[in-house]
Structure 1
Amino acid sequence: MPAPKNTFKQALKEGRVQIGLWQGLTTGYAVEICAGTGYDWLLIDGEHAPSDIPMLSEQYQAAMHSKSHPIVRPPIGETWIIKKLLDVGFQTLLIPMVESREQAEALVKATRYPPHGVRGVGAAMARASDYSRIPDYLETANEEICLLVQVESRAGLAALDEIAALDGIDGIFIGPADLAADMGYLGRSGSEPVQAAIADAFTRIRAHGKAPGILTGDAALAKRYEQQGAQFIAIGIDVMLLASACEKQLAAFHAAKPVEGPVGDKVY
């Protein structure tokens, strides 16, 4: 029995657009709720959300049997944490702040077993191998790993073609907020120079046969990114969705008039 099939990686290979949601609430309960809504993938964030490895593991468990593929973003792309997240069971990783071919090469090696990489051979005691119940996990794991890297600076854009040309890189995510800041447009990722850089990056990524990705909470902009070639697109963040829904609910109460007559059976 081989390692579990990475359906997200397969979708990227087939050119299918994958729509996702960012998870920053740090609980399996929140991930479970979002995993039931029909998103193709969920990004479980360990960079800006205050999650440690046990919390990331809990969130993975909440999504692992759903139709929403769990992707994890560690706080930094270092071998020790990548090893732990792979053993937890994650097969797709999104690594922030990648700025050079050398850095990307090290990430590819960190996600692969020898002789193709440096991943530690310890999955026998981990969820990744179903605690040794997948007898040929070691022989098949590499093929199902999906490595996504974030390019979000001018240095990253300068090295984009070298990064995208690497075997083992499946997709490149353009981080609009950090890119805008590095370009001198802090908090203004919609600025024309930033948008032009994003569109150009998508074209260059696709020219190397790799999948471009991005995040935006603006549905119309997400559609434009799709037209420009983005293949994995996150269209919201759970934290912001919860805050917005709470604000709208309170505003609705203050604007409402008392109901008159029967209210029916389902009042909540």
Structure 2
Amino acid sequence: MPLQLKPTLREDLATSDRALIGGWVCSGSPVMAEIMAGSGLDVVLIDMEHAPNTLQSVLAQLHALSGYPVTPIVRVPSADPVIIKQVLDLGVQNLLVPMISTAEEARDVAASMQYPPVGRRGIGNALARSGRWNRVQNYLDDASGHVSVYVQIETTQGVDNAESIAAVEGIDGLFAGPSDLSASMGLIGQQTHPEVVDAVKSTFAGARAAGKTAGTNAFDPAAARDYLSAGAEWVLVGADVSLVARGSEKLAADFIPRSAH
């Protein structure tokens, strides 16, 4: 019997009656990935841009997530088509591509996600986990239906071009990145500055105008709720490393005398 792949994030967003909530795995640990997957979150993002991840460690984390009702997404380190091809061949169905600021860059990403003649994705499904070694029926013909891609808006240029980027065929939605966006605006480290918040919401508006979905990153609970109220369809609200860092700091503060610090 042919194997069935999980629905994509695109399909999850289209069928959900609420915004989806997710978290990051930045430790590179499959144990942490499994802990996050079992938490009840809707989405778990494995980060290759700012985390110590290789193809092998991403694969181990995909295995850890596979037994849970959670949607995995991987942020690749760049829009490099070779990296995108390799990550897709790992069986990743949902990709987030950072630092996209123009429609031309978005078209390059979309081409990397699709097989010829539409795109330029290299064909290796018989050798790779993506089509489960030819066990997913008609994978080559239906591959675009098995993957989704979101591009990250992290510059003022990207915000200005949000609608044209979202309108690119093959791009499923936008994801605003307040950290790098704040730096692009001369407000580094001020992710909740009103001007940064307005730029994130402008990105949402650009996506909606193109008929696409939008999400963002917000570890501040008040900011996350504000973005949800503003129409974000998915929000990443925490990360494994941050949760451990803050939790361990609280343990130290609770149990070690102040004078010992």
| Counterpart selection for 1:125 from 123, 127, 141 | 127
Task: State the percentage of identical aligned residues.
Answer: 38
Return the offset for 1:237.
Answer: 1.2
Aligned-partner Cα distance in 1 for 2:121–2:43: 25
Whether contact under 8 Å (1:3, 1:140) holds in the other structure is no
2:9 corresponds to which residue? Answer: 8
One-letter code aligned to 2:209: A
**Matched residue count:** 255
| Counterpart selection for 1:71 from 59, 70, 73 | 73
2:213 corresponds to which residue? Answer: 211
| Counterpart selection for 2:222 from 220, 223, 248 | 220
1:229 corresponds to which residue? Answer: 231
One-letter code aligned to 2:106: A
1:200 aligns with 2:202: yes
Cα RMSD, aligned residues only: 1.4
1:266 corresponds to which residue? Answer: none
Return the offset for 1:14.
Answer: 3.3
**Structure number, greater radius of gyration:** 1
TM-score (ref. length: structure 2):
0.93
Aligned-partner Cα distance in 2 for 1:231–1:155: 22
Structure 2 gap segments, 5+ residues each: none
Aligned-partner Cα distance in 1 for 2:160–2:252: 47
TM-score (ref. length: structure 1):
0.91
1:42 aligns with 2:44: yes
Whether contact under 8 Å (1:77, 1:95) holds in the other structure is yes
Aligned-partner Cα distance in 2 for 1:142–1:32: 27
Return the offset for 1:7.
Answer: 4.2
Aligned-partner Cα distance in 2 for 1:145–1:220: 32
The Cα offsets for residues 83-128 of structure 1, whole Å up to 9 and x where unpaired, read as 1101101010000000111110011110011111111110111111
Aligned-partner Cα distance in 1 for 2:243–2:190: 20
One-letter code aligned to 2:44: L
Equivalent runs, 1:90-101 vs 2, <5 Å: 90-101=92-103
Equivalent runs, 1:10-159 vs 2, <5 Å: 10-14=11-15, 16-159=18-161
1:240 corresponds to which residue? Answer: 242
Whether contact under 8 Å (1:21, 1:42) holds in the other structure is yes
After the TM superposition, which segments of 4 or more aligned residues of structure 1 sit over 3 Å from their partners?
none
Structure 1 gap segments, 5+ residues each: 256-268
